[in-house]
A and B are shown apart, each in its own frame.
Chain A
Amino acid sequence: MAPDGTPDLKVVGTRPIRPDGVDKVTGRAQFGADFQLPGQLVGKVLRSPHAHARIRSIDTSKAEAIPGVKAVMTAADMPEITSEEAFVGEGPADFKDMSGNTMARDKALYDGHAVAAVAATSAAAADAALAAIEVDYEVLPHVIDVEDAMVEGAPVLHDDMFTSGVDPKPTTPSNVAKRMVFELGDVDAAFGKADIVIERKYKTAPVHQGYIEPHACVAQYAADGQVQIYCSSQGQFMVRAYVAKLLGIDISEIRVTPLEIGGGFGGKTLVYLEPLAVVLSRKSGRPVKMAMTREEVFRGSGPTSGGTVWVKIGAKRDGTIVAGDAVLKFQAGAYAGSPVGPGCMTAFAVYDLQDVRITGYDVVTNRPKVAAYRAPGAPISNFGVESAVDELARELDMDPVELRLKNAAKKGTKAAYGPTFGDIGCVETLEAVKDHPNYNVPLGPNQGRGVAAGFWFNIGGESSATVNINEDGTAVVATGNPDIGGSRASMAMMAAEVLGIDVERVRPIVADTSSVGYCFLTGGSRVTFATGMAVVEASKSVVNELKARAAKTWDIPVDAVEWQDGRAVPAGSNAGDFEPLSLEDLAAKSGRTGGPIAATSSLNAQGAGPGFGTHLVDVEVDRETGHVKVLRYLATQDAGRAIHPSYVEGQIQGGAVQGIGWALNEEYIYDDQGRLENPGFLDYRIPVASDLPMIDTVVVEVPNPRHPYGARGVGEVPIVPPMAAMANAIQDAIGIRMTELPMSPPKVRKAVDEQAAAEE
């Protein structure tokens, strides 16, 4: 035991080479688009060119007559399903909407909305078929901006949408799906106690997750109705459940085999192509492969919301924040279900406030339906709140880290969304920033420093793991979560830790839906925590079995056997004098001591530890071009316990970089017809490597008492603070408060010119 009481660990906390690394760097790994089945057809999707249009009719006869075309489908080939709430990805949605988003039924609701699909023997025949499908559209007025969509008289997307959460319930339909309020204390009275009040409105642009791998799948519908799907996703069980629901197929008839995933970030917690491929396979009798182009990814798959964030905070002269109020309006895309709920819940979560209120609106617009994206909703509200807190620090002439330390959430803080925090590391991440050399590097002209802190819940949930001991004493760990961020490595490490063997002797696999127990999808920063817990539990069961086999061999009671360093040893001199039995010894003899050694654990993990992080960035602004250069970037984060520190650092760096892109250049550009003008990586500008400095990280470890090794989720927190940190740094550099994302060169230059004009 270490002095602080944590157990001495041999594997957890080390940095072994990832087990999937060689396949990925040599190009052997099979991603979604790499998989083939004999006789497969090429499936393609016809997408709406209109932002909002009634589909009067679809004539597929000419397409069907083209040689090589084996199947054509529309929404008429999918069951019409009734409204049913589901927990989708990291937020709630509705299966009727999911069906409609997969294939438009009566109306196309955004440029890129799928309206038909074909399967043919060649890509050229499939393209010809798409061109031959005749869709009779009645083009309708459209609305892109969230606040425009809320105005009375705006084009209404769904005539059965009546705002919920307002009393009395409206009698006329609108684009506002839902209103919600989270409140603690008496906010209005609390503002009366404030010496200083900051009030401002901020705005963010919808941004895409930007995963490198486009969506892809192969589906085969057999004559007996059994369905095989091979695809890359954030959850093979998610794909199975949604395809079953959307197509009315029993879950037992569907087997989903996960392929490698080239990035998801929440964007692959949904199905787009899989139900279409299954229908096309059913109609053609052949396997069907579908893969999106990059343009389809941008036009047809979900980004996260853009939104407006109105923030009001009140503070005492000494820096004590006494009240917080915020109103969030998030666009959800074409169907209800923006992450405004988590946006509200996380808005003020880094602060210890008694009086706080957050009001949220979920609003539909003629854009692709949003999907989860790393800490869904939190970066948007955080941009507003952490910008306002920076303004407060300036008003108070107080160091922004000190102001945050004075008000930071800590053990015992009651959050606005209900719970009281246990062991959390918010203060520790702020202290880590103060202790880092970047905090005191001198700045030059037009350079500035910004800080922001962020929060994400992290989740647990349902997971399963199976540990099999092989005849030679090596082990296989099977789980059901696609490995996006190095989870194979962390699963193997946790199993090796319990079994007391080298991690190289544990082979982790991601199994198909028929070969391992149910696992909720890879998302919510849950896998290392929840699936890791299942791996630890299964491994402990294996150890108990190994001890029992040793006890049987020695003919002593099982509680007289201990497991140490991968060997069974007698518990003490009273237990008898026996040579230790290694895992190899026990595995070799398992046939004679009771048969194969294996264990499975299925659980619903509770107690995911909340995550906090603080980012500190230095920028230099070119006043003449408006270009913002990132000079230095530091991200500190509480990982609870870093199972594989390199992958924790990688998650932190990746999140920070995506946030920098969100801050500086990423946006969807629409023409006046509501058509997306930049569906590609040339004009949808995620950062390139040369845009960035090294992202420095400090991993703080405040153990999560609910995980065997103290782990917390780490994948989402790091995308929460960057936008505000960047805006705060720009303010520090040039004295201008940028309130709207992206802070692109034309906007910064314009702000500089306006500042100059105001000073004249």
Chain B
Amino acid sequence: MYAPSFAAPTTVAEAVQLLANASGVAKVLAGGTDLLVQLRSGILKPDLIVDTKRIPELRTITSEGGGYRIGASVSGAEAGEHATLSRDWPGIVEAVELIGSTQIQGRASFVGNLCNASPAADSVPALIAAGATVVIAGPNGEREVPVEEVPTGPGSTSLAKGEMVVAVKLPPKPARTGDAYLRFIPRTEMDIAVVGAGVCVTLDEGGTCTAAKVSLGAVAPTVLVVPDAAAALIGSKLDDAALAALDAAARAACKPIDDKRGTIEYRTKVAGVLARRAAATAFKRAGA
């Protein structure tokens, strides 16, 4: 009968060694809000579970050169209560706080949300739009990659055996920059995104967009980066033409599936709608 091994190391080095030496399937347990559900439903039967919550550096948010380093096991609730994080990156904090319920928020983490590799992960489009990176520890040391390079398909990541994400890094926020994340669900909470849209924009003093990044969730096998959508915003003050171009670019990027949560047609249309609405909020936050 099934009986996995369980370890709760206190250092990253120890955790990496356990993961690297594991035979069979090894899974990292941060908040566990996805992993435990998969275990209970029998979808997943890992041979080893490594709990990372006892590694102190994975439990903290630190300011770093004007940006932030968020430990891999920091929960949504902890992110929401941080003194300055939601002031600087409101879109990111909103996104992580959309996951699950109040109870789930006490556990669910950015990194767990990312490494579960669901295309519908709420925090991922927001992180991508903001230009976040992750720090990955492994048998060969640490490396840093953009968030969008972690998921490779539903349930799969680019992490090699023995590797784990130890932190998310947010860059120093440029002046006149605003971010936003919106998702669509049929209800108001306790649901999984049918479509998600993250937008981050930087404006000049006159209110014209000089830089932008647009990311869409739940419309392709992985969270998408949509350069054409960003291009539609750059150089504009978010006039009707820019909004229409943004909407069209977002729709054009969608490669969704028909499933129980939404049809191809519906997801595609709503991707355009949410991109417009998220852009409007991002512009407002940037000071437009």
Task: State how many angstroms separate the Cβ of A494 from the closest Cβ of chain B.
Answer: 39
Contacts of B87 in A (CB 8 A): none
Q: Write the chain B residue with the least CB distance to A622.
A: B273
The answer to whether B266 and A745 have CB atoms under 8 Å apart is yes
Q: How far is the CA of A683 from the CA of B260 in the complex (A)?
A: 7
Contacts of A683 in B (CB 8 A): 260-261
At the interface with chain A, which of B60-68, B180-188, B198-206, B215-223?
Answer: B180-188
The answer to whether A682 and B191 have CB atoms under 8 Å apart is yes
Q: How far is the CA of A753 from the CA of B266 in the complex (A)?
A: 11
Q: Tell which of B184, B192, B269 touches A627, judged by Cβ atoms closer than 8 Å.
A: B184
The answer to whether A665 and B260 have CB atoms under 8 Å apart is no
The answer to whether A688 and B188 have CB atoms under 8 Å apart is yes
Q: How far is the CA of A195 from the CA of B186 in the complex (A)?
A: 41
Q: How far is the CA of A627 from the CA of B270 in the complex (A)?
A: 11
Contacts of A678 in B (CB 8 A): 260
The answer to whether A691 and B187 have CB atoms under 8 Å apart is yes
> Is A37 interfacial (CB 8 A cutoff)?
no
Task: State how many angstroms separate the Cβ of A219 from the closest Cβ of chain B.
Answer: 26
Q: Tell which of A624, A625, A746 touches B263, judged by Cβ atoms closer than 8 Å.
A: A746
Q: How far is the CA of A38 from the CA of B265 in the complex (A)?
A: 56
Contacts of B192 in A (CB 8 A): 682
Q: How far is the CA of A682 from the CA of B184 in the complex (A)?
A: 15
Q: How far is the CA of A89 from the CA of B115 in the complex (A)?
A: 48
Task: State how many angstroms separate the Cβ of B217 from the closest Cβ of chain A.
Answer: 15
Contacts of A128 in B (CB 8 A): 1
Binary flags per residue of A667-692, CB closer than 8 Å to B gives 1, else 0: 00100000001100011010110110
Q: Tell which of A690, A691, A749 touches B269, judged by Cβ atoms closer than 8 Å.
A: A749
Q: Tell which of A125, A625, A685 touches B184, judged by Cβ atoms closer than 8 Å.
A: A625
Contacts of B142 in A (CB 8 A): none
Q: Write the chain A residue with the least CB distance to B266.
A: A746
Contacts of B263 in A (CB 8 A): 746
> Is A65 interfacial (CB 8 A cutoff)?
no
Contacts of B266 in A (CB 8 A): 626, 745-746, 749-750
Q: Write the chain A residue with the least CB distance to B3.
A: A124
Q: Write the chain B residue with the least CB distance to A684.
A: B260
Residue among A124, A624, A688 with the highest chain B CB neighbour number at 10 A: A624
Task: State how many angstroms separate the Cβ of A130 from the closest Cβ of chain B.
Answer: 12
> Is B190 interfacial (CB 8 A cutoff)?
yes
> Is A744 interfacial (CB 8 A cutoff)?
yes
The answer to whether A685 and B1 have CB atoms under 8 Å apart is no
Binary flags per residue of B59-85, CB closer than 8 Å to A gives 1, else 0: 000000000000000000000000000
Tell me which residues from 97 to 132 in chain A have a Cβ below 8 Å from any Cβ of chain B.
124-125, 128
Given contacts A128-B1, A685-B191, A749-B266, contact A627 B186 (CB under 8 A): yes
The answer to whether A746 and B2 have CB atoms under 8 Å apart is no
Tell me which residues from 414 to 458 in chain A have a Cβ below 8 Å from any Cβ of chain B.
none
Contacts of A746 in B (CB 8 A): 262-263, 265-266
Contacts of A626 in B (CB 8 A): 266
Tell me which residues from 9 to 39 in chain B have a Cβ below 8 Å from any Cβ of chain A.
none
Chain B interface main SS type: loop
Task: State how many angstroms separate the Cβ of A490 from the closest Cβ of chain B.
Answer: 33
> Is B189 interfacial (CB 8 A cutoff)?
yes
The answer to whether A124 and B184 have CB atoms under 8 Å apart is no
The answer to whether B2 and A124 have CB atoms under 8 Å apart is yes
Q: Write the chain B residue with the least CB distance to A690.
A: B188
Given contacts A124-B1, A746-B266, A749-B266, contact A687 B260 (CB under 8 A): no
Q: How far is the CA of A625 from the CA of B263 in the complex (A)?
A: 13
The answer to whether A688 and B184 have CB atoms under 8 Å apart is no
Task: State how many angstroms separate the Cβ of B41 from the closest Cβ of chain A.
Answer: 8
Given contacts A669-B260, A749-B266, contact A685 B189 (CB under 8 A): no
Contacts of A125 in B (CB 8 A): 1
Contacts of A753 in B (CB 8 A): 269
Contacts of B188 in A (CB 8 A): 688, 690-691
Contacts of A569 in B (CB 8 A): none
Q: Write the chain B residue with the least CB distance to A686.
A: B187
Binary flags per residue of A717-750, CB closer than 8 Å to B gives 1, else 0: 0000000000000000000000000001110011
Contacts of B186 in A (CB 8 A): 627, 664-665, 685, 744-745
Q: Tell which of A690, A749, A750 touches B189, judged by Cβ atoms closer than 8 Å.
A: A690
Q: Tell which of A624, A625, A685, A749 touches B187, judged by Cβ atoms closer than 8 Å.
A: A685
Q: Write the chain B residue with the least CB distance to A667.
A: B260
Tell me which residues from 215 to 233 in chain B have a Cβ below 8 Å from any Cβ of chain A.
none
Q: Tell which of B189, B260, B265, B273 touches A624, judged by Cβ atoms closer than 8 Å.
A: B273
Contacts of A685 in B (CB 8 A): 186-187, 191
Binary flags per residue of B236-273, CB closer than 8 Å to A gives 1, else 0: 00000000000000000000000011110110011001
Task: State how many angstroms separate the Cβ of A68 from the closest Cβ of chain B.
Answer: 10
Q: How far is the CA of A685 from the CA of B190 in the complex (A)?
A: 10
Task: State how many angstroms separate the Cβ of A114 from the closest Cβ of chain B.
Answer: 19
Q: How far is the CA of A629 from the CA of B214 in the complex (A)?
A: 28
Task: State how many angstroms separate the Cβ of B193 from the closest Cβ of chain A.
Answer: 12
Given contacts A664-B186, A688-B188, contact A677 B2 (CB under 8 A): no
Q: How far is the CA of A125 from the CA of B270 in the complex (A)?
A: 47
Q: Write the chain A residue with the least CB distance to B190.
A: A688
Contacts of A690 in B (CB 8 A): 187-189
Q: How far is the CA of A610 from the CA of B270 in the complex (A)?
A: 46
Contacts of A625 in B (CB 8 A): 184, 270, 273
Q: Write the chain B residue with the least CB distance to A124.
A: B1
Binary flags per residue of A683-713, CB closer than 8 Å to B gives 1, else 0: 1010110110000000000000000000000
B residues near A, CB below 8 A? 1-2, 184, 186-192, 194, 260-263, 265-266, 269-270, 273
Q: List 16 A-B contacts (CB under 8 A).
A: A125-B1, A624-B269, A627-B184, A627-B186, A678-B260, A682-B190, A682-B192, A683-B260, A685-B186, A685-B187, A685-B191, A690-B187, A691-B187, A744-B186, A746-B263, A749-B269
Q: Which 3 A-B pairs have the closest CB atoms?
A: A746-B266, A690-B188, A624-B273
A residues near B, CB below 8 A? 124-125, 128, 624-627, 664-665, 669, 677-678, 682-683, 685, 687-688, 690-691, 744-746, 749-750, 753
Q: Contacts A627-B184, A677-B260 known; list 4 others, CB within 8 Å.
A: A682-B191, A687-B187, A746-B262, A750-B266
